[in-house]
Chain A
Amino acid sequence: MINHIDLSTVLRRTVCDLYSDLVTRPTGAAVRDGIEKQLSELGDRSLTVIDFSHVGLLDYSCADEIVAKLLMRYAEASAPRDAYFLFRGVSDSHLDAIETVLERHGLAIVAQAEDGTVVLVGTVDDPERRAWEAMLRMGRAMAGDLAREAEIAPEQVDRVIGALCRRRLAMELDGGYVVVGAVT
């Protein structure tokens, strides 16, 4: 199931209906809490579009509270549910803050551009990037095919796919693997 969360709506509902900027840690924490409440109403497995389109400014503190902490929570083995995220409406100035916090924590996200194309943003090692890009080209990919397409040793491909899924950048679907955002 694909869920859509407009961050400006969450901001207005959880913090103040006059705000359009995502600034300060308390604001970020309140918005993340609002997102998690919505996630808790979904099934065990979900894909959520986190939409920045109507957000004015995003500062580092807020990016850390919303993006980094949300990802870290759902990448843990103890995550409350199997949730994946696609980030949409991310402007250059949002990206500046988001990239900074992702690098700080060694995280990555999948962001969707206006034309619908998806890109990886953040910290990804070379085999992970090759596997993710190959998966994107192939649509739904099986491990063996992916190893050939991405030129990854067969004995390593499971580890790479496992890392992409754990990091919420790819997901298992009908026995194969797809990048987050390929199924919207």
Chain B
Amino acid sequence: MTTVINLPPSLDERTFETVLEHLAPIPIDEKVLLDGRHTRWASPYGLTALLTIAQTRAEKPALVSPESEETGSYWARTGFFRHAEELFEMHGSTHRARSSGESDVLLEITPVAKSEDVHEVVGRIQQKSASILVKELNIDAKATMGFAMTLSEACQNIVEHAGRGGWVAVQTYRWQKRLGRRVVVIAVCDAGVGFRQSLESAQGRRMSDRWDDGMALEEAVIRGVSRFRDPGRGQGLAGVRRYIGRWDGKLSVRSGTARIAIVPSWDEDVPLEEKLPPFPGAQMQITIPERITDR
């Protein structure tokens, strides 16, 4: 039996939860078909999380690509179909990449599994991002290095903790509805062991009665706790937090059944959500908004 799950018209971090809600009760060895025919837009998070879903399924899932030429063209520009063809049984229209002025793919969807992949990602983002961050997002030229550092640390989370490969993508676009400004968004998703299991693997670690995915996220993201006993560990996510604080950005991390967020004043998200539909691994989104300068 194949269960059909319709992808929402706008596939982002929030709406992706509806996909997971539908997916949760379906055994992993049962066939699912993700129907994206009516999807008009997808964030880097939406696309990388879709690939991650495929990694969690024992039975290869099917995916119907968007009907919209414009949407399909954008998905093609992100490199999505190249990876999706390996992970999904593909149906629907075949799309080719066409250029567009409204969104810029700073980093195509890139697999991350080992240290060398992080070098590759960091090298590519520095070449491409510097002028866009400065000219379009009014971010200080000095901050572009910090941006690459943030990306590096976010990707290393997969290499160091996930236990299997994941995906990263970076894109800028105008976030008209919520912010009315351009943003640059990093999405890093994996289907690995997740924060709770990673911290549980720490030697001699004692768990409290309340130990769950939410608490594991608080420990790792807010308090910089790591499964390694080395006192130098845990600085990566702390560095990411510092960078988003400096540039009024937003960080959200989902793992298992919980999601934690560092919420800036321009957003109305909640700091911690629990009892979400389960999703293996960790999914991180970092959003840096265009700076408003006094003219």
Task: Please report A residues at the B interface, Cβ cutoff 8 Å.
Answer: 16, 19, 21, 23-27, 56-61, 64-65, 68-69, 91-93, 96-97, 100-101, 104-105
Contact = CB atoms under 8 A, between A and B. Distances in A.
Interface residues of B, number: 24
B149 A97 contact: yes
Given A100-B235, A101-B235, 18 more contacts: A23-B119, A24-B115, A24-B119, A57-B148, A57-B149, A57-B152, A59-B149, A59-B156, A60-B235, A61-B152, A64-B232, A69-B232, A93-B142, A93-B145, A93-B146, A96-B146, A97-B149, A101-B232
Given A24-B115, A27-B115, A93 B149 contact: yes
B231 interface: yes
B239 A60 contact: yes
Contacts of B118: 23-24
14 contacts: A24-B152, A26-B115, A27-B115, A56-B126, A57-B145, A57-B148, A59-B122, A61-B236, A91-B145, A93-B145, A97-B149, A100-B239, A100-B242, A105-B232
A57 B143 CA distance: 12
A174 to B, nearest CB: 36
Nearest to B233: A64
The DSSP consensus for interface residues of chain A is helix
Interface in B124-179: 126, 142, 145-146, 148-149, 152-153, 156, 159-160
B142 A57 contact: no
Task: Say whether chain B's binding surface is mostly helix, strand, loop, or mixed.
Answer: helix
Contact of A27 (B119, B123, B146, B231): B119
A104 B126 CA distance: 27
B231 A61 contact: no
A70 B126 CA distance: 28
A65 B233 CA distance: 10
Given A57-B149, A60-B149, A104 B142 contact: no
Contacts of A104: 231-232, 235
B235 A21 contact: no
A161 to B, nearest CB: 27
